[in-house]
Every structure is written in structure tokens, then in C-alpha cells.
Amino acid sequence: MPKPKPKRLRFLRTVGIVLLSLLVFLLLFVAAFVWNPFEGSLPELRDVVPRGVNFFVRKQRLAADFSSFPEPKFWTEFADSRAYADVMQTRAVQELKRGGLERSLQEVAATLERVRTDSSGWIDVMRDVIGQEVIVAGYEVDYTQQPSRPLAEPWWCVYTRVSWRVRAAHGLMRFGFVQDQLRQNGIGVQTDGDLLVLQPTGVPGPLYLKRHLDAVMIANSKLLLEQSQRLLDGSRDEEPIGQMPAYTDGAQLRIDDWAQRNAVDTPNVLEFVVEPNTFDAFRRFAAGWPNPQNRDSMNERVLASFVNLKGWQQVTGGLIFGPRGLTATGQVGLNSKQHTAFQSSFYRAEQQRREEWLDPFLAMVPESACAAAALRMPAGDFLYAMFDALDPAEKDFINDGMKRAVFQGNTLTDTRDLIEKLKVAFLPRTGFVFRRNVPDEDRDDKGELKVPVTARSPMPQVAWVFWIRPGAAAMVEEFVAMMRAHFQTFYFKRVYYLRVPHASGVFTEPVSEFTNPQIPATGAIAMIVFRDFFVVANSGPFVRDILRTRYPALSGARSMRQLPEFEAFQANMPAELNGVVWLRGENLVPVLDDYMKFAESANELPDPDWQRSVRPAAEEQVRRSKYPQYPSVASMPPTMTQPGGEFDQAVVAHMQEQWRRERTSFTADDRAQMQQLRAFARALRAGFVQVELENSYIRFLATLIPDLR
């Protein structure tokens, strides 16, 4: 006969069944009223963000960027670099400190630590809330009204992918006893359908919290949550931002292309989509900058020919934190109806493989250059834009010389007439090279400077490079010959022919250098035609170095293409592009130092020697602009030209204004700005920007390699 089971075993079995039942019941209760531990994850968080938002920022794997918040992982290496102290003393950093950035970061860090402590380590904000993926998106414009109008405060929503701990906590927040506990800690909580309405102490309005699977959404407006719910429901009335062409073409494809070129499987990237003209501050800034009528800045007048911020519809792309440096890639969507005639021609520049036009230019940029740029654009239109940016008096001065010159057997009517005749000789591309201005100390047989400079200026040496059409070199040579034949007509004092030596002899092409002490910074204009290029610069020795760099086998000179820093950019250059910009930090620092030294030496009153040297040109400019009825200064009545006379006072005022613009325009703010630029230049090993232009967009890629030595 079998033995009966002991009562103890029956009791344990009963207890086990009861406990198992309780566990199953508890799991069912948790799954039904708190959180379903078996639920899945949202495939794409960006697919619940509506495409109509005015701003969108997305960051994945945020927790991996910090050693401990708020210190990013690269900070220790940066703090040990020689540029650290200079950068930390810049005005931008000091203003951030005065604005309470450090205090705010410390408060955020303290809050994160308090959450971790109060929850006994159960909730870590970086690990459980924002560390996996976080998106911030919203509206600056209320489109629910007709017509739409700007919002007083933006409507925003934070989308984040959370851990199971946060999902469980969200479910518990629906229970009254948990809400009572939160209320005692300064956070009011109410339920509104599937939403939780939060009212933290000190926050002016309510916050709305919604969860779907592992996605949590916190917004200050129900509109964004309603749009996200329709996306979750598959409504055809809403489309996600992830399917918007501006995002897929401008951000996603550009980032994927960078990752493939640099062999990076998962790039560390901050994605963004911004409609800049929906922001009031940007609209006000775009309305006045760049100003084509700025009297004090020719650079801004020229820039206005190229840039029109009012036509910027969307800026999309990514900020990539790579192993070699920081890269920004993306696309600017343009409203082509906002283009000027020049901008339309500029954005329609022909396409050509870079080895056919760009590589030869880069090969002639000396390694001593601090910056270089090349853009594919109609050269004639560019020259028109440059001339139109001059002051009226400067235009009159140049036009007066042109009317007395002969080109192709005919007299010229003005400068625009010369450009019209000459522009057919150039291909649609223009290059620029910049280098620190080192004074030319070459002297003649009498021991005097060949190129004296009265109009002292910290302006660097600058060269313009033009590509000559096949068969058109003779026309450009004729222009240079015209300048040599009529150099006095253009108020040049002397003309020199600089031979360019190399290891085996001398290059056949000489550099034509025209001098006048009143030419700012260098006292000279130089030009040369060689092979397929026409180079114009404000320094003869600079042109000579460019020519030597173009032929390294003969001269031994090195170009920027041979620098190690350039290798980092080579792999990211597409087969066809419209323009590039190159910066080299260690060569840029001395240029900025020259500007600061110049500002320190500037005086309030004009220098007497300077006044004597510029007076003849000033008298001629004042006569033409204010007293054109007199054919010359000598024909004016003595009462006007004598000291204190009407004409004399006008000339003195003109010279004082010129002195102010050239010498004393450096304010304390300008000096602080220069110091800031110097600090950033010292922290920069190299920078590179490339652009691809179409009438409806600008595609860009910019890489900055920091100098952490």
C-alpha cells in the first residue's frame, strides 16, 4: 500500500499555489493599472513628431557624452590645452558666466543628484529619462488661426525614450496616494483622460504628460500631444517629420553620407530642423543684416550681394561630434523668389568636377596663408557687385581714371564698361587667398623703400584669383598692358616688374606691381597672367609666392594641400561642389594680433605726416563730389582754399572722417571682439567649409579641428 503524503508537503504546496496566484494577480494588476512589462518599444521616436513644427532637435545616446553631468568627456583634454585659458576669458564665455550658466548647470546637476538620492537610486534622470534618446520640438507660430500669427511663448514638447522604471513610475502617478505624496513635494498632479496634468511650483502654466510604450511626451500645449496621438493612430491628416523631404535630404542623407565616408557606424550627432524666419529675433536681425547701404563696412555691403537671410525657409542637418573634430552638415532651404538678380546667377553656377577647377587653385595656396576660399559664380557679376559696394566718392575716383584709359583701341566710359568688355574672358569662378601682411622692405639704389606705405592698416595681404577661358588670355594681357601704360592715370606713382626665381632659373611671367602710398596696408596693387589664371593682389611678393607654390617641383614651395590638416577634409569633398573656405588657426592668430596692435596705437587726432600725404587726393575727391563746377583746385577762389575757407574746411572734415574710419574706429567692443576671435583662432587647428548651391537650397559641410596641444 502507498504511504499517505505528509501534511507538511500538502501545506507547502498550498502555500506555493497561493503565492503563485498572488504573484500572477499582482502581475495582472500591474499590467492592467500600472505598466505592462511585456509591451514593446516605439520603432522610431521621431515618427510621432508632426512635420509642421518650427524647430526640432534630436540627440541619441546622450548619457554616453558625459563623464558626469555637466562635464562632457572631451573637457579634460580641452582644459589641459594651451588655448583653454584664452577661450575662458573671452567676452562670449564671460557673458555666459554672468548670465548664470555655471549656476544653472550646477543647479541642474544638483537636481539630478537629488532625484537619484530621493529615489534611493531607483530613478537616474540621465540613465532612465533622457540618456537613450531625446527630442525637443515645437511651434513659434500659431497656425490654428487664420491668418497665422506669432506666439507670445513657444509651444514645445519633449519626446524621450525612457526605461522600465520610468514607465512603472508613470503608471503609479495615476493613483491618489502617489499624487498626494507628489503634491506635498510641490508638484500638483491630475488626470485628464490619458494625460497627466502637472503643475510644478514656480512654473507659470500646466505641463501635459503622455506615455506610449517606452516614449514619454511632456508638453506645455495639448496641440502637440493631439498631433502625436493622430500619428500614433495612423491618421492621414498628419505626417511625421521623419518623412519630410527637408529632413530626409538635408539631415538624414547628409549624415549618412558623412558616416559612410568616415567609416563611422553610429555617428554621435545632434540633428536639427529650424525655420529661422518664424523666430522674431531672427526676423528682426535678417531685416537689417547684411546692410547693402552700410557706410562704414564695405565687407558688409559686398556680403549683402551674396546673403539674403529673409529667404531662408529651413535649416536642417546635424552637428556631428567626430573623432577628429566637430562637423556640421546639412541644407538651407531657400525661397528663390527672394533672390536678387546677382544671387539668381550666383546660385545657377555651372557644375564641374572639382579636379578640373578646384584642385589647381588649392595647389597654388601657400602654406603660409591664413585663409582661402573659392566659389563658382559668374566673375563679371561678382566684379559688378564689388564695384557697386564702393562709396560714391571711390566710384567717381576710379571712373575718372577709366575715362582717360584706352582698352582694345577704344576709350572707356566708366568702370562698368571695362567689366562688361572683360567679363567674357573669365570662367564662372573666383578664388581668394589671405595672408598676414608682412611689410615689403625692398629698397632701391638710394636706400629708399620701393613700396612706401602711408595709409597704415592691419589689413592682411589679399589675392583674387580668376580662371581664364581658353583662348582669352590675350584679352587679359591687354588689360594688364593698359594698366602699365596708363598707371599714372589711375594715380599710381610707380610700376615695377617683379621676376620670380626658382631652382632652375626665373619664371617667364613677371608680376606687375603698381604703387601708391595711399593704398591701405600695402601701398601696392599687383597682377599677373599665367597659364589659366589671372591673379590680382595688394602685394607683389604675395603674388610671387602664389606663382612659386603653383610649381612646387621647381620652387620647393608647399601648398595647403600638403598640410596634414587638409587630409581630414579630402575624404569628405564630393566630386562636384560650388565652393570651399579654408582656415588655419596658427596663421590667423598673427593677423588678429596686428589688428589689436593697430587699435592700441591709434590716436584721436590725425597724424600730421599722414595729413600731408593724403591731402592732394582728399582735395580732388572733395572737389569732384562737392564743387564739380570748378575744373581744378587751382581755379577756386582763394577765399575758399585758404585756411579756414569753405573748401579747406570741407577737406579737413573729409580727412578727419577718413582718419576716423581707418584709425580710430576700433572701440572697446571691437577690441574685445578681436580678443575673442584670437582666442577661438588659437583653439582652432584648421577649419573647412564646403557648399553645393542650387536655386532652392545651399548644402553645406563644415569641419573644425580643435588644437588641443
DSSP 463-532: EEEEEEPTT-HHHHHHHHHHHHHTTTTTT--EEEEE--EETTEE-SPPEEEEE-TTSTTTSEEEEEEETT
Q: Tell me, what's the pLDDT at 111?
A: 83
**303 and 377 inside one domain:** no
CA 465 to each of CA 365, 366, 407, 419, 539: distance values in angstroms, whole numbers, following the listed order: 10, 13, 21, 16, 13
- 590-599 burial, b if ≥16 CB within 10 A, otherwise e? bbbebbbebb
pLDDT per residue as tens digits for the range 84-112:
888 888 888 888 888 888 888 888 888 88
Count of the separate structural domains present in the chain: 4
What percentage of the chain carries pLDDT values higher than 70?
90
Q: Are residues 486 and 634 in the same domain?
A: no
Contact at 8 Å (CB) between 591 and 372?
A: no
Indicate the angle between helix axes 415-422 and 392-402, nearest 10 degrees. Answer: 70
Considering 30-39, 271-280, 694-703, the range whose residues carry the highest mean pLDDT is 271-280
Q: Out of 312, 338, 364, pick the residue that ends a domain.
A: 338
pLDDT above 70: residue 3: no
- Same domain assignment for residues 535 and 553: yes
At residue 218, the 3 state secondary structure works out as strand
Q: What is the mean pLDDT of residues 461-481?
A: 95
The number of beta carbons lying within 10 Å of the beta carbon of residue 531 is: 13
pLDDT of residue 378: 84
CA-based angle 371:340:423, to the nearest 5?
65
Residue keyed to cell 577765399? 639
Q: Give domain status of residue 504, yes or no.
A: yes
Q: Please state whether 186 falls in left (phi above 0), alpha (psi between -120 and 50) or beta.
A: left
Does 574 share its domain with 589?
Answer: yes
Contact (CB, 8 A) for 170 and 160? no
Do residues 396 and 625 lie in contact, with contact meaning Cβ atoms separated by under 8 Å? yes
Q: What is the mean pLDDT of residues 193-209?
A: 89
pLDDT of 256 strictly over 90: yes
Q: Where are the alpha helices (DSSP H) in 70-129?
A: 75-79, 84-88, 91-98, 101-118
Euclidean distance between CA atoms 208 and 205, whole angstroms: 10
Q: How far, CA to CA in Å, does 190 sit from each of 173, 183, 195, 204?
A: 9, 10, 9, 16
Residues 616 and 537 in one domain: no
Measured torsion, CA atoms of residues 558, 562, 563, 564, in degrees rounded to the nearest 10: -150
The pLDDT of residue 23 is above 70: no
Q: Which domain holds residue 209?
A: 45-239
**673 in any annotated domain:** no
Strand pairing class (149-161; 66-68):
unpaired
303 and 186 in a common domain: no
Q: What pLDDT was estimated at residue 535?
A: 96
CB 592 within 8 A of CB 382: no
* DSSP letter, residue 351: P
Are 334 and 362 contained in the same domain? no
Task: Establish if 671 belongs to a structural domain.
Answer: no
Digit-coded pLDDT (tens) for 424-446:
999 989 999 999 999 888 888 88
* C-alpha distances in Å from residue 589, one per residue of 592, 658, 669: 5, 27, 19
Asked, for residue 508, whether it belongs to a domain, the answer is: yes
The pLDDT score that the predictor gives to residue 604 is 54
Residues 120 and 68 in one domain: yes
The answer to whether position 17 is within a domain reads no
Exposure string of 480-497, with b = 16+ CB inside 10 Å and e = fewer, is: eebbeebbebbbbbebbe
Could you tell me which residues come within 8 angstroms of residue 111 by beta carbon, excluding any fewer than 6 positions away? 125
**Does 681 or 643 have the greater pLDDT score?**
681
Asked if residue 648 is part of any domain, the answer here is yes
Residues 6+ apart with CB under 8 A from 122: 165
Examine residue 152 and state whether it is found in any structural domain, yes or no. yes
User: Are residue 349 and residue 310 in the same domain, yes or no?
Assistant: no
Q: How far is CA 506 from CA 275, 441, 509, 510, in A?
A: 56, 21, 9, 9
Q: Are residues 586 and 611 in the same domain?
A: no
**Residue 705 to residues 97, 330, 433, 682, Cα–Cα distance (Å):** 25, 18, 20, 11
Q: Which residues neighbour 535 within 8 Å (Cβ) at sequence distance 6 or greater?
A: 463, 464, 465, 466, 527, 528, 543, 546, 547
Mean pLDDT of the chain, nearest integer: 86
> For 262-378, where are the alpha helices, taking DSSP H only?
280-288, 298-306, 341-347, 354-362
User: How many Cβ atoms sit within 10 Å of the Cβ of residue 609?
Assistant: 9
15: confidence class by pLDDT, cuts 50, 70, 90:
low
- Residues 358 and 298 both lie in one domain: no
pLDDT higher for 249 or 350? Answer: 249
Domain boundary pick from 320, 338, 356: 338
Please state the rounded mean pLDDT for residues 690-699. Answer: 88
pLDDT on residue 276: 95
- Measured at the alpha carbon of residue 625, what is the angle toward residues 624 and 630, in degrees to the nearest 5? 40
Residue 31 has pLDDT above 60, yes or no: no
Identity (one letter) of the amino acid at 33? F
- The answer to whether residue 363 scores a pLDDT higher than 90 is yes
Q: Is the pTM of this model over 0.85?
A: no
Which of 361, 343, 340 minimizes the C-alpha distance to 352? 361
Residue 353 binned pLDDT confidence (cut-offs 50, 70, 90): confident
Q: Is residue 186 part of a domain?
A: yes
Last residue of a domain, one of 338, 364, 389: 338
**pLDDT, average across residues 572-598:** 89
Rounded Cα gap, residues 635 and 638, in angstroms: 9
Tell whether the model's pLDDT for residue 28 goes beyond 80: no
CA 48 remoteness from chain centre: 31
One domain, residues 193 and 258 = no
Smallest CA-to-CA distance from 162 within 111, 230, 217, 242 is with: 217
Neighbours of 474 (CB within 10 A): 11
Residues 598, 457: contact at Cβ < 8 Å?
Answer: yes
